[in-house]
Chain A
Amino acid sequence: MTGNERDVRQAHGGSVTDPAWEDVLRAGMESDPESGASGSVEPELAVARLLLHAGAPAELGEARRDAVWREIDGALTPIPWWRRRAWVWGAPALAAASAVVLVVMLQPGRPPPTSPLAAAPGQAIAVQLEGQFAMLAPAARADVARSVDTSRGSMRGTLLAMAQDAETIGGAP
Chain B
Amino acid sequence: MEGSGRSPLAKLILKDPELSFSLLGLVFSALVIGFVRNPFYLDVLIMIFLWAMLASSWNIAGGYAGMFSLGHGAFIGIGAYMSSMLFIHFKLSPWIGMLIGAIAAGIIASFLGTICGRLKGHYFALATIAFVELINIAGVQLKELTRGSEGLSIPFHAGLANFMFESKVTYAYIGLIFVALFYFLSLALERSKLGYYLVAMREDEDAAKSLSINTPRIKMISIGISGFLAAIGGTFYAQYILFIEPDTVLSFNFSVQVALVTIVGGMGTALGPVIGSFLLTPLSMLLRAYLGGGLAGLHIVIYGFLLIIVVFFIPAGIVNAIRTPLKKYLKGEEIG
A and B interact: no
Contacts from A to B (Cβ < 8 Å)? none
